[in-house]
Chains A and B, each alone.
Chain A
Amino acid sequence: MTGHTISRNRYFLIFAALIVLLVLTISMAYVDLGPFNIIIALTIAIIKAVLVILYFMHVRYSSRVTWVFVSAGFFWLLIMFTLTMSDIVTRFSF
C-alpha cells in the first residue's frame, strides 16, 4: 500500500451506501420481476463487493501489483463461471 489514508467521512459514506444497497436488495425480493430479480440482486451484490474491495480493503490506493492480483482473482472467478456455465447451458440441448 502506498500509505494513502482514507478520511473517516469517506468510510461512513461507503458504509451508508452499503446499507442503502442492502435495503434495496431486500426490497427487490418482494417485487416479482421474473428473471430480472436475479440479475438485479447480482448487480447490487457486485456493486457492494467492489465498494468493499476498493475502500475497506484499500485497493483503490494500492500499488499496481495489488491491482494485478485483485484482477486475477476476478479473472479466475470468470473462468470458473464461464466453463461451468458451458456445461449448464448446453447440458440438455442434444
Chain B
Amino acid sequence: MSTSGSENHTNYLNDGYGVKSWLLTTDHKRIAILYMISITLFFMIGGFFALVIRLTLLSPNGTLVSADTYNKMFTMHGVTMIFFFLIPSIPAVLGNFLVPMMIGARDLAFPKLNLLSWYIYVLGGIFTLSAMVLGGVDTGWTFYTPLSSGYSHTNVVPTVIGVFIVGFSSILTGLNFIVTIHKMRAPGLTWFRLPLFIWAHYATSVIQVLGTPVIAVTLALVGFERITGVGIFDPNIGGDPILFQHLFWFYSHPAVYIMVLPSMGIVSEVVTCFSQRKLFGYRQMAFASMAIAVFGFLVWGHHMFVSGQSVYAGMAFSALSFLVAIPSAVKVFNWTATLYKGTIRFNTPMLYAFGFIGLFTIGGLTGIVLATLPVDVHVHDTYFVIAHFHYIMVGGAVMGYMAGLHFWWPKITGKLYPEGLAKFSALTLFVGFNLTFFPQFILGYLGMPRRYHIYPPEFQVLNVLSTAGASILGLGYIIPFFYFMWSLRKGKVAGNNPWNAKGLEWLTPSPPPTFNFDKTPVVTEEAYAYPEEDLAGG
C-alpha cells in the first residue's frame, strides 16, 4: 500500500479539472464534495430563515414580519434544515467520502446511482426553492392535514413534490451503503472489525430504505387530496387527519436517528483517536446502533399524545419510547468509559465530540420527559419541545458533523485547518448554542407556545437571551466556513495521518488517489487497535 505523503501525487482532486469532470463524476469522493457544497448552501438558506425568526421574537409584539410571513419563515426553516441539510449531511457528505475508504473499497457498489442521488437531491431542492421564491409555504414542516391538504393557500404542492423527490436521493444513498458494506469489505474486515462509523451508517441506511418510502407516499397522498378532492386525510370528505400524523411520524421520528446515528459514529471515531484508547464495549456499541434503528420505528405516537390519538395507544407509545433511552445511554456511558486513563488531546474534533456527548445527553433526557404522557400534555407544542429537538439535532447531529468535518478535513483536502482558531470557534459555537436554546426550555415550561410571532411581555428577557445566543451561534458557524476556505490555499500540508488515528482511510495519501488504495488492504486487527496501557496498576 502506498504511504506517500506528498501532496503532488495524483489524487481525486487533481484528476481532471473541468466542470464536466465534476458534474459527470462517479467518484464517491467527488460526489461527497458536490453534496457538501449543496448542503452548505441549504444550511445558509435555512439559517437565514432562523435569523428572521429570532429577530422577530426580540420583541413581544412581533413587529419585524407579519404573522403570515412568520408562519412561512418557521416552515421553510424546518423544511430546509431537515430535508435538505440534516438528513443528507453526514451520510451524503462524510458517509459518501468515507464508507468505501473505511472498508478498503475502491468506490461504492453503485457509483452511477450515487451520482444520480445527487442529481435527484438537486432536482428536489429546485422544486422546494421554487416554492420559496414563489411566496413560500406556511403549514409547518410537519405538513399537518387538513391545513396542508385543503386550507393553506400557499405553495404546498411544489414543496411536497420537492420533499418527495429528495427522499429518493436518500433511499439511493442508503441502498448503496447497505450493498457496499455487505459486499465490498476488504479481506479480513469482518463485521465485528468494522469501525463504528460504518455500523452507524449501516443502521442509518436501514432507516433510510425502510422509512423514506412511507413519507414519500404520504406526501403524495396530500398532493393527491389537494388536487382531486378525494378524501384521505380531510374529515369533511371522509378522511382521517390523525392517519396523516401516523404515516408522517412513522418516517419522521426515525428520521431523527438518520440525523443523529451517523454523528454517534463520528464521535466513536474521534473519542478513540484523541484518547488513543480502544473503544469500551465495541460490540455493545454496534448492537446499540442497530437497536436505535429498530426501536426508533416503535415510538412515533409520542408526537401525537394530544392530537386525538387513542389514550391507550398513547400509553403504549409512551412506554415504548423509553426503550430508545437504553441504547442511547449505552453509547454515552461507553464513550465516557473509553476516556478512562486515555491520553486525551483536546483538538478541535474532540471538543466537538465532547460537545456532542453533553448536549445529546441533555436532549436525550428531556426526550424522556416529553415521552412521559402526562408531562407531555403540559409541554406539548411549547418551546420546551423546540429546545429538546434542537439539543438533539443541532447539539447532537450538527456538532457531530462539525467534529467529523474537522477530523477528516485533512484527509479530504490534504490540508490542515488553523487549530487555535478552530478551537475558539468550537467554544463559541458551544456557548452560543446553549445561550440560544437553554432559555427555550424555561420558556416552554412556563407555557410559551411554538409557532407564534407574538408572546406575553414577561417572556421577553428569555427571548432576547435566546436571540443573543443565536448571533453567537451564527458566528460559530461563519468562522469555520472562512478558515476552511483559507486552509485550501494556505493550510499546512496534512500528511497521511495527522492525528495518529487507526482506520484504513488513514493509510492512504491525503487527498486520496482516485481509487483510494493502490493495493487492496488486508485487515489483520480489530477496530481501534490503539496500544493499550496496563490499567491494572490503578
Contact = CB atoms under 8 A, between A and B. Distances in A.
A and B assemble together: yes
B214 A80 contact: yes
Contacts of A91: 242, 308-310, 313
A65 interface: yes
Contacts of B297: 76, 79
A36 interface: no
B482 interface: no
Contact of B312 (A65, A73, A86): A86
Interface in B240-256: 240, 242-243, 246-247, 250
B301 interface: yes
Given A65-B182, A76-B210, A87 B298 contact: no
A72 interface: yes
Contacts of A73: 210
Interface in A8-45: none
B317 interface: yes
Contact of A72 (B182, B210, B304): B210
A90 B210 contact: no
Nearest to A65: B182
Contacts of A86: 310, 312-313, 316
A83 B310 contact: no
Interface in B363-422: none
B311 interface: yes
Interface residues of A, number: 17
Interface residues on B, range: 20 to 34
Nearest to B250: A80
A80 B243 CA distance: 11
Contact of A87 (B206, B214, B310): B310
B182 A87 contact: no
Contact of A84 (B210, B246, B311): B246
Contact of B246 (A65, A87, A92): A87
Contacts of B211: 76
Contact of B317 (A80, A83, A88): A83
Contacts of B246: 80, 83-84, 87
A91 B243 CA distance: 12
Given A65-B182, A76-B210, A90 B298 contact: no
A90 B243 contact: no
B170 to A, nearest CB: 16
B210 A87 contact: no
A93 B317 contact: no
A72 B175 CA distance: 14
A15 B313 CA distance: 42
Nearest to A85: B313
B67 to A, nearest CB: 32
A5 B247 CA distance: 38
A91 B300 CA distance: 16
Contacts of B300: 83
Given A79-B298, A80-B250, A90 B312 contact: yes
Contacts of B311: 94
A90 B210 CA distance: 27
Contacts of A69: 178
Residue of A65, A69, A72, A93 contacting most chain B CB atoms (<10 Å): A69
Nearest to B210: A76
Contact of B310 (A79, A80, A93): A93
Contacts of A94: 310-312
Contacts of A72: 206, 210
Interface in B295-338: 297-298, 300-301, 304, 308-313, 316-317
B253 to A, nearest CB: 11
B301 A83 contact: yes
Interface in B252-309: 297-298, 300-301, 304, 308-309
A1 to B, nearest CB: 12
Contact of A83 (B210, B240, B242, B298): B298
11 contacts: A65-B182, A72-B210, A79-B297, A80-B246, A86-B312, A87-B313, A88-B240, A88-B310, A90-B313, A91-B309, A93-B312
Interface of A: 65, 69, 72-73, 76, 79-80, 83-84, 86-88, 90-94
